[in-house]
Structure 1
């Protein structure tokens, strides 16, 4: 089984966490390739290793078109035209925002996380891989990861994800899909929700919610939840450590925002 791992980051996030992820991948994953989808710098300066592939997201037609079509809901500091909302406590991202408010945390930052969908969409164009595993840039590998272990995570299904009964929505820091028709359909269903604007009808516009909606609306895509529980603030708790993947990957969930202030 040949695995393609996928991540994305801009210059700031590369300096903060992405470099650590890439180095840990090269240290512990000899049976696989890491595709780095990046913005804001030239990959030729950094990614000179046979275990790494690079793609400049600025070249992606899907990203360019979506950003243009959705300028009205993207905050100005992220390149859109949307200003602050009129909710009672607009600066509280998890406060009492009206349903579908563009300033609620998961909606305000949706354009950031849409890069994940674009990256996976591009990865589908690469041939010769049996599976794709998304890994957030604030993750790192902690021990050698054999191909056979990744095979077990799928449990014979087309998609694996991390949610647990303790969360309302899956946590998309680590997820996997087969490059079979059902697995590819999982990504393409999410792409279609964003491309058509269907995501705007949901309470949350982020990638995790849209991935979950893709599974809900396509029950023919067989999937498995690897997480047995979540810890921390519910319903947004940490799940990776409570799954088989947690033995091999650490996720510093929220590190970019709460620790580094790179997200607001």
Structure 2
């Protein structure tokens, strides 16, 4: 859904200002008869009402936020603009805001700084929701592949508890392999969100591996790779004093450090093993 035109956005603001106090029919009467609202056509008011409904703003519970801020957020989140998915890298400061975001912000009376702050908050919320969905799908996809192709017991321990510091245990002799799974939909970027607990588990557990799963838009696995633990250790933050300690970090793993498939399982006999697990399908698939 494209960002609406300026007049439709202004009409949307007027709808949200009036609806808490008037019925839709009363609002329409005002829009068509009162000179204060005659700068926008009845058709544009109706298009704005449809957009508000599709954007979920007619049932928006966030009445504590200003009307303009709610319209801005809806306009940005409904935009098909490619930049929003990578806003954390592409829009690191107000001066980097794209023209469409600046246009809407200016129309609604926001400064670039205010618009940037809202986009950062929106991106964080959307990214968290997406990561949770994609992460769960990646874990399940890997569990199914391992159960199908690897002759070993496969336990999806994260489905029971998050306290293990890894997601999947593959019980091979003489020791189990512990897989922490990080999933992504992106082809050109592998962002890893690592908790301190996961990192400390890696440090003390020689069987711990970080496995990246790239999924298609249909949440089907397209490629699998292992991220070397020594690379992780070299790139996590460092606690400089006892007064400060990192609890989570974000790593950007370059393609050249990724090991295709899961090499640690290469010694396990498996007939007709999936090319995803063996690494015959190279990252990103």
TM bracket (short chain): under 0.3
Structure (1 or 2) with the larger CA radius of gyration: 2
| TM-score, normalised relative to structure 2 | 0.23
| TM-score, normalised relative to structure 1 | 0.24
Q: Which has the higher contact order (CA 8 A, sep 6+)?
A: 1
Considering fraction of residues, name the structure with more helix.
2
